[in-house]
Structure 1
Amino acid sequence: MLELIIGIYSLYTFMRVYISVMQIGYINQEKRKDPVLMPAGKYMVAANYAVAKEKLAIVEHFVDYLMFVWWVFAGFSWLSSLVSVDGQIMQAVLFLYGFMVVNYIVGLPFELYQKFKIDEDFHFNQMTLRMYVLDTLKSAVMFVVLGGVLFALLAWIIVNYEMWWLGGFVLLFGVALLVNVLYPTVIAPIFNKFNPLEEGELKDAITAMMEKVGLKSDGIFVMDASKRDSRLNAYFGGLGKSKRVVLFDTLLEKLNKEELLAVLGHELGHYSHGDIWKNIGLMGLLLFVVFFLFGHLPDELFIQMHVAPHAGVKIATLMLLLPLVSFIFTPFMSYVSRHNEYAADAFGSKMGGQDNLVSALLKLVTENKSFPKSHPLVIFFYYTHPPIIERLNAMGYDAANTVAGEEKSEKTAEGIFTFVDRKSQ
């Protein structure tokens, strides 16, 4: 059994590395062609940023594989020998703390390199080392407290119920729903400041849009995202009465009122189409499959790993193998998400104006240094949003033959805003 799992994990690692290699080759080839959607200099920067991330990802894939092999052949038995306390629940919690801490330490250099080297070089990172340490300490406290409670509950279910996988699924799915409810009002404010949007035309216009689709929210807030990162974003967060509109301060700085309303119209499209609940349903399906499969792992597997199948080991094994199942599900979930994005674009075009949404998307792709092209395998597996060129084409915009400039030209005969510096046909 262990040999089969190692073989599957090896194939999984090979696929991830192969996809990254294909992406690097594809982008390096495309960046030498005429730029689209952004000026030549920014086009090259976006390409180099994408390549830098993929190169780091390849190294991380290999390290993940080595860690997987170490855990199943020696790591679990080593950690079990260190955790010798009375009580199955406490033993499981301490074992899982150890499992998570080891993985965090191994992954920390990649996180630091991404944030303080790659993101710094490409002028995204605004976070100081002090701020990073404070965020890490806050996350650690939350993990120890909330993670410990969750681990204890899962371990209790495993110890007391033969069909523990079903109870574990119900628990995790319930926790996921609770996190969605609490995130915007309880969790997110631990790390960022959220100030109510000032009274004025923008707030009135957003409120009117929300009333059109019947969305009642906890309010419209501006998040101080710029103190950590320069990228632009906005989102609707929460479930039930905790729903709120969140605008990054970076977005308010770069987009005008009409563009902001078009972007929020897109997000309202997700709400109107019930995409949040669709995503929750897909997540629930994935969780159910994961718990069912790993709830029926034979004891032979744990014998081969030289460890007793106690609650902590079972949960850690589930966490270790979760990426395998997620990777298989990813293309389907990504396809559904891309379909939803097209529908949300159409909705946003009606709510905020198609020209304004096009203009906003062009600014977003440029400011976020998002290279507009990707290898088909990357799109198939990982893209939750359609490629920006395809999104713009779906709205009638000739994206493949456009280079963004600094100012808009006059409206074309087709009624679509284009940008100066259009390539010759």
Structure 2
Amino acid sequence: MRKSRRISQISASLLVVATLVACGDKKAAAPAGGMSPPEVGVVTVTPGPLTVSTELPGRLEGTRTAEVRARVEGIVKERVYREGSDVKAGAVLFRIDPAPFQAQLASAQAALARAQATAAASRQKAERYGPLVGVNAISKQEYDEAVAAARQADAEVAAARAGVTTAQLNLGYATVTAPISGRVGRALVTEGALVGRGEATPLATVEQVDPMRVTFTQPADEVFKLKAAVEAGRLKGVSGKEAAVTLLRGDGSEYPHQGKLLFSDMAVDPTSGAITLRAEFPNPKRELLSGVFVRVRVNQAVNEHGITVPQRALMRSGQGASVMVVGADGNVAVVPVQVGVARGDQWVINSGLKGGEQVIVEGLQKVKPGAPAKAVPFAPQAAAGAQPASAPAATPASAPAPASAPAAEPASQAASQAQG
């Protein structure tokens, strides 16, 4: 009885092992016989209006720059302004010792008073001689001399009056003011310095920093190609808001305020073969500083049939750039492309794609040229959210053995019991 029970247990154990082995063979044979094509995320290329822009290097500069200079000779008595502050036109910046100019003004005013007194006496004398010459009481020569003396006295009054004006100007120049509104830089002289001797000594610089300008150059060949494309109808010219200019900081970020193109030079620089352009940007927070080298993106035309692809879809090699597409037959193919400028997370494709192609964005590592693939629409947000959950889900598929171990454990225990 006991022997027959052991035989039954051994038979049951062998049956379980055989069943597990059969199941394992079926699971192992399934991928080899009927493996489905891998899924890849694709985007369908759709041509649409695309602004043709060019990035060019340039340098920031103030709208207006004025050098503040000493216009009279004297000793700097006081610096009134705070270095680096914003000033209005006419604000006092320096004061030069005014005492010498006050004395000059007093002397000029005295000379004017003397000349005016002399002129008054000369006119009165000429007026008195007028009736006397008519009755021959005096000679004609005496009368003419009196009239000439009166005119000479009037001229001396005019000269004295000009001397007063000059003295007033010099006294005014002793108070140095800002010629324009803007930001004033560091002082180039200190109190006690002698300025204005022999030349107009620089004292400071005032620069209008709102708005700011960017001067940059573009190769003339590029300009001519764009004009030819617009004239041929391949591109459309831009105007108004489409012709906006974007400033790029040193870290590649965009300046929040759009600029406008002021002018394009009419002549080509013979040394560089480039055309000079200038753009203007508002600078309300004084973020832009004069002299800084930046890059500007200029919208110059519109491509009515422009094409872009996500940057992650592009592959680069020694032969150039290319993308993988899923063809109408469901097979993967490599398409060489010519890449233009970057637009956010997209690359502008100049040639190679015509529209309608299904470009692979996700799953490039799963496929190879000529192999079949299952195209599914690429959803960036869904793909980003699925990445954290995909790792745990891949564990059972990649390691089937641990899942089957618990099921095999009773069979091993039955076999050991049978041996016992």
- Give the TM interval when normalised to the shorter protein: under 0.3
Larger radius of gyration: 2
Select the structure with the greater relative contact order (CA < 8 A; seq sep ≥ 6).
2
Structure with greater proportional helix content? 1
TM normalised by structure 2 equals 0.17
Structure with greater proportional strand content? 2
TM normalised by structure 1 equals 0.17
